[in-house]
Amino acid sequence: MLIFWTAGIHITSSHPCDSEHAANCPAAAGERLGECLEALSDNSSSQACKEWLHVQSVCSSELLDQCDKRNEGSPCKYNDDAIPCLAFWTHPDYRVGYSVACKELLPKGEKEEISEETKSERRRRKEERKRKRREKMEKEQEGNPLNLPDPGEL
């Protein structure tokens, strides 16, 4: 498990609300997960989970604007990629546009330490996305293998 400490916020590669997620909203993901976790009473959530939800809230526009692009359109908000995307995957030039409140919550000048298991999982997900794109392109070209214009359009 990847762990970071910054401004009192505990950041992990597996989100700190996993136990709350499993116990209260196991089928929820993305925004629905956020809504479910935010609705829990304060005493049923761990401090780390509350802090993680706070980052999701404060950095909402940054997650939608920058991180969804870096995750090939898949939403980063309320998933384990949210903090690494904000802190490490986004080029510093793009972080200039982050709100002051969001910047203050992110690790400063630290390098992301990634376990071999996490690297392997990321490679697997990347290859899966490539395979799906390739299959989609092949399916689109099935009826037109040479990608020629339709004779009726000429």
pLDDT tens digits, one per residue of 25-36: 888 888 888 899
User: What global pTM score does this model have?
Assistant: 0.58
So what's the pLDDT on residue 54?
93
Cα separation, 68 vs 74, whole angstroms? 6
Residues 15-49 as b/e (b if ≥16 CB within 10 A, e otherwise) read bbbeebbeebbeeeeeeebbebbeebeeeebeebb
**Domain range summary for the chain, segments of one domain joined by +:** 3-113, 114-144
So what's the pLDDT on residue 140?
79
* Mean pLDDT of the chain, nearest integer: 78
Q: Which position has the higher pLDDT, 10 or 133? A: 133
- What letter represents residue 136's amino acid? K
pLDDT per residue as tens digits for the range 99-129: 889 988 887 765 556 778 888 888 898 899 8
